[in-house]
Structure 1
Amino acid sequence: MSVSERTITNLVRLEEWDIPGLIALSVSIGWDYDKDEINTVMSSGKVYGHKTKEGKIVSSAAIIPYGSSLASIGMVIVHQDYRGKGLGRKVTQKCLDSVSGDTMVMLIATDEGKSMYESMGFSSKDSVHKYLCDNYLSMKSNDALNVEIISMRKEDLSQVVKIDKDAFGEERRTFLINRINQAKESLVIKSPDGNIIGYGLSILGPINLILGPIVAPDHHTASLLIDKLANNHQGKLRIDIPLGNEDFIFHIKKCGFVKVSQPPIMIKNSKQLPQRNKALYGIAAQISG
């Protein structure tokens, strides 16, 4: 289907009233963004896109800033009928232009988008393992760990933000507040002395219960946290795991998770990812890094 350039309006920032159009764009390529997910992204960052003169959204990209030194790009979509016109590059560049030129920008690329990102100055530095599960098998072998896993309270936020910063590499208070508000379940891990040493969220999407972020002091505790979040859920599960967590991956595979892809993490304006303490066992989502 040929589409004239004249049918596309200027590139604009998208707002709350554009969410139905963004959902339709997502569905058009088989992705599963819903209202709650897009609300979290819009509340944490900015979403841009191209519209036709009739108001149809035909491209999108979002950027979420974390402090002044790091940002994450995601939700880069171009409608099938409007590809080959450079819209993906233009909307991604709009995101880049919205932050300082020396800000480290990260994204998790699709196979289709990888070459475009490379041409824009991004380079692959790592990857994540995407795992799905149709039928979760609970594993109780870690119940003997001397920790307490309980529901998160408002007064826990400061400690959660701190341990998340150490695990992720930058403070992301605004995003975490919005993500916690979106979560089906928010749990914290407490040591015997009452300190919070980990946390985990579950997000109920249209297709999967998404597990993440998952932050824990070791893979045994991370596995127990997963069990608490996943147990009794009737439906599909998803978790995206950073590299270097082989023992944790070995455990979740026994619980029924199957690896479906390993997309690259790409960055711009830096030679390496932010420094992390190896406590991140599951990312929040591919859009948020």
Structure 2
Amino acid sequence: MHTEDEVELKVEQFNDSDVSNLIELSSSVCWDYDDQEIKTILSSGKIFGHKNSKGKIVSSAAIVPYDTNLASIGMVIVHSDYRGFGLGKKVTQQCIARVSKETSIMLISTEDGKPLYESLNFRTVDAVHKFLCEDFVCATLEVNNEFTLETYKVGDFHQVMVLDSAAFGGKRSKFLHNRIEQSKRCIVVKNQNREIVGFGLSVQGPINLLVGPVVAPDFKTAASIMKELAANHHGNLRIDVPSGHHDFMTFLHTCGFNKVNEPPVMMKNSSTMPHRDGRLYGIAAQVFG
């Protein structure tokens, strides 16, 4: 039984000194946030939450604002011992208050969290498709000699950012820089004119190698990026695919991936998703939209 002051805690902003405590909170709900992932969130946005009288973090929510009028909310967690007191709503409201009323806010919801977000005027506009793989075995791919896959170099950033902005639906230069720094591998796809037409990166988490974002001109190129990033990896993989990429999802099935979930994408201050050019085959992570 919690005392009155424990359930009327004040929302506070977290920093690097809270990382280990945030990892512990995420582990309590079986989410696989680690040190690097949380530091990327902190360097790209802000994390709010509550601590109990012993200094233990019992709730969290993150807001990641992008360069344009778009932001993403994620990492909304309430410890099981503190549910039912409205902490999740309070930290989500704190995130919303950090951006202007003209900013479109997206989040990827759990089914349990959907009623909370609907009460805050978020509306379902789409879905993502979560795929997991324990044993990656790539099907034979037809080689496209028009493109080459190369290791990302710092000088590639501007072209990569332009591609990401059109594919994601908003410019997010700070986050993209931080994500590339965090990545295990980052590769670019260049055409015969040496122009970058696609890219992909992988991030090693405590459980899965997370692949994304993946941006490509077509599903075969996206498949080639997936194959390259998964090559020689021994362990679990994960990719979250936006709706509308049936051929790519079929390819993933042939490689040993299974779709385990289809969480809704919800928006506030907008009735539709940001305009995307159809080239986003894998999102960075659910916290980043």
TM-score normalised according to structure 1 size: 0.98
Check conservation: 1:165, 1:172, Cα contact below 8 A: yes
Q: Please report how far the alpha carbon of residue 146 of structure 1 lies from its aligned counterpart in structure 2 after TM superposition.
A: 1.9
In structure 2, distance between residues paired with 1:140 and 1:181: 31
Shift of 1:102: 1.5
Instruction: Give the CA deviation at 1:144.
Output: 3.5
Considering only aligned residues, what root-mean-square deviation do their CA atoms show, in Å? 0.8
Question: Can you give the 5+ residue segments of structure 1 that lack an aligned partner in the other structure?
Answer: none
C-alpha distance in 1, partners of 2:152/2:163?
14
* Partner amino acid, structure 1, of 2:6: T
Alpha-carbon contact 1:186-1:202 (below 8 Å) kept:
yes
TM alignment of 1:142-221, pairs within 5 A: 142-221=142-221
The answer to whether the 8 Å contact 2:44/2:64 transfers is yes
- Given that 2:68 and 2:171 are in contact with CA atoms closer than 8 Å, whether structure 1 keeps it comes out as no
* Equivalent position of 2:85 in the other structure: 85
* Stretch moving more, 200-209 or 145-154: 145-154
Match of 2:5 in 1: 6
* Cα pair 1:132 1:257 within 8 Å, conserved: yes
1:281 deviation in Å? 0.1
Q: Secondary structure at the match of 1:58?
A: strand
Q: Percent identity?
A: 49
Contact kept in structure 2, 1:40 and 1:179, CA below 8 Å: yes
Query: Quick one: which amino acid aligns to residue 205 of structure 2?
Result: G
The Cα of 1:139 is off from its aligned counterpart by 2.6
For residue 52 of structure 1, report the CA deviation from its aligned partner: 1.0
Structure 2 gaps, min length 5:
none
CA-to-aligned-CA distance 1:151-206 (integer Å, 9 cap, x gap) = 00000000000000010010000000000000000000000110000000000000
What is aligned with 1:36? Answer: 36
* Deviation for aligned residue 1:67: 1.6
Contact 1:142/1:223 (<8 A) preserved: no
User: Contact (CA 8 Å) 2:138, 2:254: kept in 1 or not?
Assistant: no
Aligned positions, number: 288
Q: Which amino acid aligns with 2:243?
A: L
Please show how residues 50-69 of structure 1 align to structure 2 within 5 Å: 50-69=50-69
Distance, in Å, in 1 between the alignment partners of 2:4 and 2:94 is 18
What secondary structure does 2:64 align onto? strand
Whichever residue aligns with residue 133 of structure 2, its letter is C
> What SS class does the counterpart of residue 150 from structure 2 fall into?
strand
